[in-house]
Structure 1
Amino acid sequence: MILAEQIIELTTTRHNPHVDPFMAMWEWQIPIYLFLGGMVAGMMIISGYFIFSNRYKVTNCACFSIPFTALVLISVGMFALFLDLAHKPYVWRLYTTFQVKSPMSWGAWILLLIYPALIANILMRPSPWMLKFIPKLSDISAKINQHPFLIKNIGILNMLFGLMLGAYTGVLLSSMGSRPLWNTSLLWVLFLTSGLSTAAAYVHLIAKNKEESELLAKADNGFITIELFIFVMMFLGLLSSARPHIEAAQLLLTGPYAPTFWVFVIGLGLIIPLIIQLLAVNHKIRHTPIAPILVIIGGLILRFIIVEAGQYSHWFNAHFK
């Protein structure tokens, strides 16, 4: 019963559908959690790929700095989720059971499992300040690095759990059939791709290795292109469905959320960064932090719009003729 109440608290609207939708965006906990969860998922996939492809042998590989940031971000995200729960003292009960049909149950266990994967990544090469406080970490690191097969598996685990975390952030919402905008099988693909895009933008922004920075800029161009294609497919699916789904799509296309969606998500968050990064990777202009920053901000605004517009859309709000 507690599990069901927590899911309802997480996914149901808490604002009047007749209130200005942009004022409702002050309810920030769930969008922040979904954004940070998706970004951490992308970071884990990128870091895991670098480890699996032996890039960890490069001294300044981003795979050694990413997990620190990821641990902080996922912890902040989980704290935001905790603030949103109605029954905070009972959150521990999520870990006394596993409900196969419950996205919240899957998510709770996935969030628990990603910590060991990130910590294993960190232990491959602990930072100097960690060794200062825990000198024995150097022995653990030495033992890990003696076994290339173990390192490969650390990379695989990071990629696997990253994929699960990124997909889960979309499945959590799409399982709500009462919310037409969320009830699409492409939502988890959109959130996973967006998470990869924002993570690639972040690594491109902070990477000390120029080759990795260039690689992530090219990868982000691919993720942005895929994300635009997913939007097209998602809207085609909604517009060819029942009346509530059509009206849900119109909330973003022509309705009250359209200006923010088209300007900040599609325009500034995807198309403009794509143009800038295409010119940069083809050496027409110099690489600039503007594009990755726009991608990250666009990914954050996307979560706010999807969450708020999804709560605004409802079968009972549809105007049947």
Structure 2
Amino acid sequence: MELQSVWGWQPALYLFLGGMGAGAFIMAAILYLKDGERHGKIVCASMWAATISLVVGLLLLLLELVTPLRGLLMWQSFSHFTSWMTYGAWGAFGAIVVFGVSALLATSQVNAWIAGRFVSFEAREHSIRKALAIVGAALGAFVAFYTGMLLMSSGSVPFWDTLLLPMLFTVSAFDTGVALVEVIAAALAKKEELAAEAKHFMERCVVVLVAVEAVVLAAFLGSALLADASIATGAAAAASASMFVSGQLAGWFWGLVVVVGLVAPFCMALRGLLSKKSAAAISEDAAPAKAGVDALALSGAVGALIGGCALRFLVLAAGVHADVVAETIFKMIN
């Protein structure tokens, strides 16, 4: 069976970058709300990474259009507020604004410049950044969910036409977002260590998110495999899911998505939680860890990013269109 070729690599990367950026901002917002001063550089870098990821992802999506420049006008033309495209456009726009402003205020030089010109800013800084973190986290959750709704609402592809898809992409977005923050924390290890309690919190998030993602992924593929093959839509959905389990995409799915993207991060995070070193480090007044970069933990985070990206590419590639017209004609003749 031929792979889907209507949607190219740009939308697949948007689905990954947009979701990962949304998840990274949520994780950065949580770290700021927990202890913004201790994790200042990690929060700042993560918010910038989230903003850049979402902007680049949207630009890639615009490049998929026949006339990309016309796509830049979508904020003016999308006014039909019963369409998911409208909600997605404005949600992404709002997220870029909030993510960007949050990243700017998290940058010490910008923060100092504003404080030097507006006397009242220093007293209200935490309240402003706290409000932006909460609003940004909500917008991030919406953007993560919308990456799945974009495919679900596209029509004519039964494999995508299920609420389990946006649920899967949402959980995966949170998972890859945490992984991106872990990679950033490792990159900044010499400048600012991640506090033991925050490291422990992210490891718990990874364990929970991977477990939930595995369950949703199994339900997503299982529902497609068990679809009624006697009708065109059911047959197309089953054919798409079969590509994952035992077909031409099976090697990529089991290798990159399952082993690299789910099993490895889960094992590395569980290792961190169960290690005596992690348990001893967690206390009420936990100090920043002085150890170097944990190579195994970092490999788990990188694996999560690889698996999350591969998942989007494979879901797009397996989007088999149902031949509803042929089925209707056949029923009319018979």
TM-score, normalised by the number of residues in structure 2 = 0.79
Deviation at 1:118? 1.3
Any residues of structure 2 matched to 1:85-124 within 5 Å, and which?
85-96=65-76, 97-124=78-105
| Counterpart in the other structure of 2:282 | none
How far apart, in 2, do the equivalents of 1:314 and 1:64 lie? Answer: 43
SS state at 1:181 partner:
coil
**Could you tell me how far apart the structure 2 residues matched to 1:143 and 1:276 are?**
42
Using the alignment, how far apart are the partners of 1:276 and 1:317 within structure 2?
46
Match for 1:29: what amino acid? Q
Q: Which SS does the other structure have where 2:155 is aligned?
A: coil
User: CA, structure 1 residues 202+145, in 2 after alignment: closer, same or farther (shift >3 Å)?
Assistant: farther
Change (3 A) 1:140 1:225: farther
Residue 252 of structure 1, aligned match among 244, 252, 259: 244
Q: In the alignment, which of 276, 279, 282 is matched to residue 271 of structure 2?
A: 279
Q: CA RMSD in A?
A: 2.9
Residue correspondence of structure 1 range 1-80 to structure 2 within 5 A: 18=2, 21=3, 27-51=8-32, 53-58=33-38, 60=40, 62-80=42-60
> Structure 2 unaligned runs (5+)?
186-192, 230-234, 278-293
* Alignment match, 2:220: 234
* Partner-residue secondary structure (3-state), 1:278: helix
Q: Does 1:213 align with 2:199?
A: yes
Residue segments in structure 1 that go unaligned for 5+ positions in a row: 1-16
* Counterpart-to-counterpart distance in 1, 2:300 and 2:224: 30
Letter of the aligned partner of 1:316 in structure 2?
D
Q: Which has the larger radius of gyration?
A: 2
- Tell me, in whole angstroms, the C-alpha distance in 2 between the residues paired with 1:46 and 1:294: 18
Distance 1:288-1:54 versus aligned 2 partners, 3 A rule: closer
**Which position in structure 2 is the counterpart of 1:315?**
322
Contact map agreement 2:45 2:184 (CA 8 A) in 1? no
Q: Can you list the C-alpha shifts for 1:205-255, whole angstroms capped at 9, x where unaligned?
A: 222313323321221121111100001111222233232222222121111
Residue of structure 1 equivalent to 2:140: 162
SS at match of 2:36: helix
Query: What is residue 12 of structure 1 aligned with on the other side?
Result: none
Structure 1 distance, partners of 2:104, 2:53, is 18
In the TM superposition, residue 145 of structure 1 has moved relative to its aligned partner by 5.0
Q: Is the 8 A contact 1:117 1:157 kept in 2?
A: yes
Residues 250-302 of structure 1 show CA distances to partners (whole Å, capped at 9, x for unaligned) of 12111111111111101111112211221122117965311111110111111
2:166 pairs with 1:181 = no
Specify whether residues 25 and 315 from structure 1 end up closer, same or farther in structure 2 by C-alpha distance, changes over 3 A only. closer
Distance in 1 separating the partners of 2:28 and 2:123: 16
Equivalence for 2:232: none
The separation in 1 between residues aligned to 2:46 and 2:221, in whole angstroms, is 34
Given that residues 61 and 209 in structure 1 are in contact (C-alpha distance below 8 angstroms), is that contact kept between their aligned partners in structure 2? no
Residues 145-203 of structure 1: CA distance to partner in whole angstroms, max 9, x if unpaired? 52544333212111110011000000000113310111111111111111111111121
| Residue deviations 1:14-58 (CA, integer Å, cap 9, x gap) | xxx74xx49x6993201111100000110121122233x342132
Output the CA distance in 1 between the equivalents of 2:302 and 2:83. Answer: 35
8 Å Cα contact 1:203-1:216 kept in structure 2? no
